[in-house]
Amino acid sequence: MTPTPAQAANAAAEPAARRAAASTKFLAFSVDDTAYGMPVLRVREIIGLLDITPVPQVARHVRGVVNLRGKVIPVVDLRVTFGRPASGDRERSCIVVVDVRTSRGPSLMGLIVDAVSEVIALGPADVESPPEVGRSDEQGYLLGIARGRSGVRMLLDIDRLLGVDALPAAPPAHPAADAASDDPGTS
């Protein structure tokens, strides 16, 4: 059945957050006592903390890489990503392995979270658009805010939060080294 022009206009005006959450399931987790959710269809698996190998000269929130059954994947500390101080891992800390769409194509990435609690089903009436007050372009990673019995939960757009283009570039190793590399007489 073809929608009428009025129905099409109403559908176009519907907030993106409500469309994104239309009868969608989210993985509920916490970081620093703040409740979050991400679309469960983006979650590949949840694993305990593994030995993470640090990688030099990467962004501060990239903790390193892990070998997951022969595939090396980067691991991001969401606490640091959200501008909070890094702290030790907690008893229930784990790595959520997610599919991220990047400019280079799909990629696996691990996210360190403090705890995973459950899978929740949310309908359009459960989700509101993020507030405009105090919002910056950097918060474009929020799909919406879910209301529930246990309070509010921030719903994350994993691609906007973690896509390669969203991650800041690594700082230069040494300003002197960069200057030397610009000198054509050095090799």
The tokens for 85 are 């101080």
| pLDDT above 90: residue 173 | no
CATH H-level superfamily of 21-168 = CheA-289, Domain 4 (2.40.50.180)
Measured CA to CA, the distance from residue 117 to residue 26 in angstroms comes to 11
- Those residues whose C-beta lies under 8 Å from the C-beta of residue 119, and which sit 6 or more positions away, are 25, 26, 27, 28, 40
Q: Where are the domains of the chain?
A: 21-168
| pLDDT above 80: residue 181 | no
**pLDDT on residue 136:** 57
**pLDDT on residue 38:** 95
pTM above 0.85, yes or no: no
Q: To the nearest whole number, what is the mean pLDDT of the chain?
A: 77
**pLDDT on residue 8:** 43
If you write DSSP's letter for every residue of 21-85 in order, what string do you get?
Answer: TTTEEEEEEEETTEEEEEEGGGEEEEEE--PPBP-TT--TTEEEEEEETTEEEEEEEHHHHTTPP
pLDDT band of residue 60 (cuts 50, 70, 90) is: confident
Question: Lowest-confidence range among 86-90, 119-123, 141-145?
Answer: 86-90
> What are the tens digits of pLDDT across the range 61-116?
899 999 999 999 999 999 998 888 876 778 889 999 999 988 888 889 999 999 99
**Mean pLDDT, rounded, for 166-170:** 45
Measured CA to CA, the distance from residue 183 to residue 187 in angstroms comes to 8
pLDDT band of residue 166 (cuts 50, 70, 90) is: low
